[in-house]
Chains A and B, each alone.
Chain A
Amino acid sequence: MNGWRAVRAVALRDLRAETRGGELIPAMTQFVVLALIIANFAFDLDRVSAPRISPGVLWMVIVFTALIAFGRAFAADRENGSLDAMLLSPAGAAAIFLGKALAAVVFMLVIEAFLLPGMAVFLGSPINLEVVAAVVLATLGMAALGSLFAALAARTRAREILLPVLVLPLWIPLIVVGSRAVEEAMGGGALQGQPLPLLLDFDILFVVVATLAARFVLDD
């Protein structure tokens, strides 16, 4: 199908630009290390407090790295005009949006691949398959909404302010359910309901809604 080829082409283009330029991922991994150091001192972590606080630290770091990563995704393309060039091609706005969101997911997964072992080393958090699943599922939904609003904010004057203000309230469901899933997987609380299927439901909803809305945000 032509649409899927366009999605893949846009995603591969973003990934290639990152592997050649190497801007985002080195900076983000430094950010992750610094955030963990600050968390260690700000919360004065010890053996008793670490298991209670570390799920919160995990989500704070993910949210702020995601804001920087998604904000970057559209800002650069808007500045050098490559987004307009892509929109001139026969590929639809939805395909371009999905391709950029997919690349953003890959960037976030690479950063999380540093963050989760970092959590294990610095905070002694137990990292198991359920934690990884919750983080990956939440990342998918966050990338869908985050890329849409990054594209939107990139068209305004104050994109650095507007992106967090718009997207953070919409991420709350993912963070509520994701933090419960991680807390439970790290052995912090009793199981209530099924967080992972719920996260998957949110992902499907947000990906569909964001893709439908992409046409109105990208096209001039």
Chain B
Amino acid sequence: MIRDTRTLRLLALAAVAAMLVAAYMIFIYAPQDQVQGPVQRIFYLHVSSAIAAYFCFALVLGGCVHYLVYGNLVADRLARAGALVGLLFTINCVVMGIIWAKPIWNWDPTQTWDARFTSTVVLGVVYAGYLLVRRFASPGRSAMRLSAVVGIIGFIDVPIVHFSVQWWRTLHPGPIIEQDALPAPMLVAFMVTMVCTVFLAAVMVAIRYRLELEQEARVLESSASLELLPQR
């Protein structure tokens, strides 16, 4: 991973520039939706955030499995960074979805609690739990191991939540991108936004990784000085 502060700064600047490009694509390049009006422009960042969050959680899963099998500290740190950034993007996705749902569904509870909303909220809660375990477990191997279990079982459970709620009832707009129903300019705007958002998420994970590394060094330093105390 990148440890050089200057490279990280450059990457952060590049991510800001990328998001400005995404903003141009969303607000100026993409045409207005005839049925939903300007509200539809939420879609670009809403779906992109969800995809960025999925990438982050895939990283968490990979990191947790790798840590449990090989005990690799880099994998654990990556999982930790991924969980925090993924949680942030999940919250962003849910909040944007709620804003979109106000004019479209008028927050009718029979429509609000559909499968995607419920499973996304559960996804967020599961990874918030992952981060809580890190906070409450005694630091070191124990925290890494316990949170890895939470990360893996949480990842298994989310599709099941989605399936069980869908089986119950669902109203979320279908996957329109796969059905080829999006006009070309909107598709271009969406693709650009998605790439920019995933890049932003990757930069955030890299920065977070660096912070975790520093935090670990601090904990190590303080525990080492504690061990030295009785000898003085």
Contacts and interface: CB of A to CB of B under 8 A. Distances in A.
Given A155-B146, A216-B148, A220-B142, A166 B129 contact: yes
B167 A193 contact: yes
Contacts of A156: 133, 136-138, 146
A169 B137 contact: no
B126 A170 contact: yes
Contacts of A210: 153
B23 interface: no
A217 B132 contact: no
A172 interface: yes
Contacts, number: 85
A169 B120 CA distance: 11
B188 interface: no
A156 B140 CA distance: 12
A177 to B, nearest CB: 6
Bin the interface of chain B by size. 20 to 34
B152 interface: yes
A107 to B, nearest CB: 23
A166 B150 contact: yes
Contacts of A213: 149, 152-153
B129 A152 contact: no
B137 A177 contact: no
Contact of A172 (B132, B148, B152, B161): B161
Interface string B55-77: 00000000000001000000000
A172 to B, nearest CB: 5
Contact of B164 (A145, A176, A209, A217): A176
Nearest to A165: B129
Contacts of A172: 118, 122, 161, 164-165
Given A180-B168, A209-B153, A213-B153, A169 B133 contact: no
Nearest to B156: A209
B126 A176 contact: no
Interface residues of A, number: 30
Contacts of A148: 149, 153
A173 B149 CA distance: 19
B132 A162 contact: yes
Nearest to A168: B125
A208 to B, nearest CB: 11
Contacts of B149: 148, 152, 213, 216-217
Contacts of B136: 156-158, 161-162
A177 B164 contact: yes
Contacts of B168: 176, 180
Interface string A99-139: 00000000000000000000000000000000000000000
Contacts of A155: 137-138, 142, 146
Interface in B100-122: 118, 122
Nearest to A214: B149
A74 interface: no
A202 interface: yes
Given A152-B149, A156-B146, 16 more contacts: A152-B133, A155-B142, A165-B125, A165-B129, A166-B150, A169-B122, A169-B125, A170-B126, A173-B164, A176-B161, A176-B164, A180-B168, A202-B160, A205-B160, A213-B149, A217-B149
Interface of B: 68, 118, 122, 125-126, 128-129, 132-133, 136-138, 142, 145-146, 148-150, 152-154, 156-157, 160-161, 163-165, 167-168
24 contacts: A148-B149, A152-B146, A156-B133, A156-B136, A156-B146, A161-B136, A162-B133, A165-B125, A166-B129, A169-B122, A169-B125, A169-B129, A169-B161, A170-B153, A172-B122, A172-B164, A173-B163, A173-B164, A176-B164, A176-B167, A198-B167, A213-B153, A217-B145, A217-B146
